[in-house]
């Protein structure tokens, strides 16, 4: 399995398939590069080079005790982009991965490294409620995540996909046990300490200045029935901070819409990349 050893000795697992313009996929918490299967196969078939890594502490990468925060996540991506000599890449991030994309592009995306970016159901500008972000979620919500992870991570990692992540808790939802099981499988591959730390990273990191600093075109996609990252305090605010942003929302679609509705999302991603 291809891995990159970073400057601090962390092994990052990655996939790198195909040739052509590179598209780099950044997964959500607590998942892995496998969460992008439907997108990677699609874009590979369209003639692109597709790349996805397991964030440190997640999946097949080192189960790190340290560095489980956004500055290091972005620096890891910068090392990977340099290692693979990526030029004019499109970076696509879902949820926590959207925060990673925002920080990476803002801080490391110069010198022709990045052509465009996409934020899907993404956590920026900031999730937690603060004086500057009164519409955010209360810290108690994220404390609940931490408590559930510590108490019974395996059960928590069944409850999230079986319920709000894919909207399987909605009346009439077409529930896929395979999708639930695959979320659980990906989650349990990672390290509990990294997953615990990453809750703070995705909920309390403020990406406001990152979004303002990005010069390349950015597509913001969000499901209007996202129960994990509420649209009003994320996509609707991010689009006002971006210099060159385009917003598209999807009535009734959930947080995990790339998995539940790839037939809808993939063509929209392709149109943005080709435009």
**DSSP tag of 128:** B
Q: Which residues are catalytic?
A: 95, 226, 255
Residues contacting 18, CB < 8 A, separation 6+: 44, 47, 48, 49, 50
CA torsion angle for 228, 229, 231, 233 (degrees, to 10)? 140
Q: Which tokens sit at 9?
A: 């000795």
Q: What angle do CA 43, 48, 54 make, to 5 degrees?
A: 70
Q: Which tokens sit at 76?
A: 């890891």
Determine contact, residues 228/164, Cβ cutoff 8 Å: yes
End-to-end Cα distance, the chain? 34
């Amino acid at each position: 399995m291809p891995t990159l050893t970073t400057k601090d000795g962390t092994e990052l697992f990655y996939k790198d398939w195909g040739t052509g313009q590179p598209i780099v996929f950044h997964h959500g918490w607590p998942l892995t590069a496998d969460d992008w299967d439907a997108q990677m196969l699609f874009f590979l078939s369209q003639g692109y080079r597709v790349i996805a890594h397991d964030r440190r502490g997640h999946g097949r990468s080192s189960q790190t005790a340290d560095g489980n925060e956004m500055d290091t996540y972005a620096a890891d991506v910068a090392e990977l982009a340099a290692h693979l000599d990526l030029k004019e890449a499109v970076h696509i991030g879902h949820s926590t991965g959207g925060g990673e994309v925002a920080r990476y592009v803002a801080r490391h995306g110069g010198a022709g490294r990045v052509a465009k970016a996409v934020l899907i159901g993404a956590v920026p500008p900031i999730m937690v409620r603060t004086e500057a972000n009164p519409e955010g979620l209360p810290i108690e919500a994220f404390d609940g995540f931490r408590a559930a992870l510590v108490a019974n991570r395996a059960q928590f990692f069944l409850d999230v996909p079986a319920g709000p992540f894919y909207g399987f808790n909605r009346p009439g939802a077409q529930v896929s046990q395979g999708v639930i099981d695959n979320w659980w499988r990906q989650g349990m591959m990672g390290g509990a300490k990294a997953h615990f730390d990453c809750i703070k990273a995705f909920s309390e990191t403020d990406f406001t200045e990152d979004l303002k600093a990005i010069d390349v075109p950015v597509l913001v996609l969000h499901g209007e029935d996202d129960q994990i990252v509420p649209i009003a305090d994320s996509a609707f605010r991010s689009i006002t901070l971006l210099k060159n942003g385009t917003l598209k929302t999807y009535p009734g679609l959930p947080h995990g819409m790339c998995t539940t509705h790839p037939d809808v999302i993939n063509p929209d991603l392709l149109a943005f990349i080709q435009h």
